[in-house]
Amino acid sequence: MGLGIQHATEIPLTMYDALTVALTTSSKAGLVQNPFANVIASEAVVAGIVTGVPMLTTTASYYVWLQRGGPAAVAVNTTIALGTTVVAGITAAKVDPEASVTGEVNVGYCMTPGVTAGGDHALIFLTLDS
């Protein structure tokens, strides 16, 4: 957490809006980190959620714009047919056709017919925002 608090039993919270329900000593609350904080580059096995596709190479500790929906140029691992659903989580920083794997994360569908691997990119209609 940004406050440097990892195992505290009490933490200070400043509420922007007033609570609409009164809390008691038996009330429970939880905090979660923003899913767009500490984004990691694509790995062969997806270890979290797929947050988006960067439009340029990004290094650690930098802010980056991630595209989550619509047409995007995405690196492909193998030939992907037009209209095929594509997934992340097989090859680092590349997408694969859904038919070749199971249990991975759908990221969209291919808009470019017959693009092959070898550093090529296909136009993928991303559906991470839906």
- Digit-coded pLDDT (tens) for 78-89: 888 899 999 987
User: What span, in angstroms and rounded, lies between the C-alpha atoms of 52 and 73?
Assistant: 12
By three-state DSSP, how is residue 99 classified? helix
- Digit-coded pLDDT (tens) for 70-127: 999 998 888 888 999 999 877 788 888 887 566 678 999 999 877 776 668 899 999 9
Q: Among candidates 41, 38, 40, which has minimal Cα distance to 93?
A: 41
- Digit-coded pLDDT (tens) for 23-75: 898 988 888 888 888 787 776 677 778 888 888 877 777 788 899 999 999 98
Q: Are 73 and 95 in contact (CB under 8 A)?
A: no
The per-residue pLDDT for 118 is 67
Q: What pTM was computed for the model?
A: 0.74
Query: In one letter, which amino acid is 84?
Result: T
Give the other-Cβ count within 10 Å of 51's Cβ.
15
The per-residue pLDDT for 1 is 44
